[in-house]
């Protein structure tokens, strides 16, 4: 059972943990480059990067990219999956739509992982519309 998080807005359809892990495993097998946006509930940290899933084990997700590495515990997260609008060149347009897996963590933190390629010259992903 997922714990309630501080995030009120959910984009996409709620999915089970098993379905979310299948998406992550598929990205790992395909070596899919994904966009990552991690926000702390306290708003003391916002981290964005392009990375690949390296390892999935015991509820933990390990990712890495050029000069980036992350290890996150997704145990008891509430997941959703579906289209999401982002501003890759905030505050300028255009707004684009990506297919995103979101995890609302029990501590109130939020993780968004988006399929698709964003050119390196564009700014990091922004928050949803």
Q: What is the pLDDT of residue 60?
A: 96
Q: Which domain holds residue 102?
A: 15-115
Give rounded-to-5 percent helix, strand, coil for the chain: 10, 45, 45
Q: What is the pLDDT of residue 83?
A: 85
Task: Report if residue 50 sits inside a domain.
Answer: yes
pLDDT tens for each residue of the chain, 129 residues long: 444 444 455 567 899 999 999 999 999 999 999 999 888 877 677 888 889 999 999 999 999 998 889 999 999 999 999 888 877 777 777 888 888 999 999 888 999 999 864 444 444 444 444
Q: Is the dihedral of CA 95, 99, 25, 105 positive or negative?
A: positive
Work out how many domains the chain is built from and give that number.
1
Structure tokens, 124: 């990091």
Task: Report if residue 29 sits inside a domain.
Answer: yes
Structure tokens, 100: 């995103």
Give the span between the Cα atoms of 87 and 74, in whole angstroms. Answer: 26
Give the span between the Cα atoms of 23 and 75, in whole angstroms. Answer: 16
Residue 29: exposed, middle, or buried by beta-carbon count in 10 A (0-12, 13-18, 19+)?
Answer: exposed
Q: Which CATH number covers residue 97?
A: 2.40.128
């Amino acid at each position: 059972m997922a714990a309630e998080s501080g995030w009120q807005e959910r984009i996409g359809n709620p999915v089970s943990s098993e379905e979310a892990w299948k998406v992550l495993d598929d990205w790992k097998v395909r070596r899919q480059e994904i966009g990552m946006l991690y926000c702390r509930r306290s708003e003391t940290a916002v981290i964005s990067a392009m990375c690949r899933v390296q390892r999935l084990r015991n509820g933990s997700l390990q990712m890495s990219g050029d000069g980036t590495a992350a290890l996150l515990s997704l145990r008891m997260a509430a997941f959703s999956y579906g289209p999401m609008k982002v501003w890759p060149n905030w505050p300028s347009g255009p707004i684009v739509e990506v297919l995103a897996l979101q995890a609302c963590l029990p501590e109130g933190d939020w993780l968004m992982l988006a399929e698709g390629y964003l050119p390196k010259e564009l700014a990091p992903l922004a928050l949803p519309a």
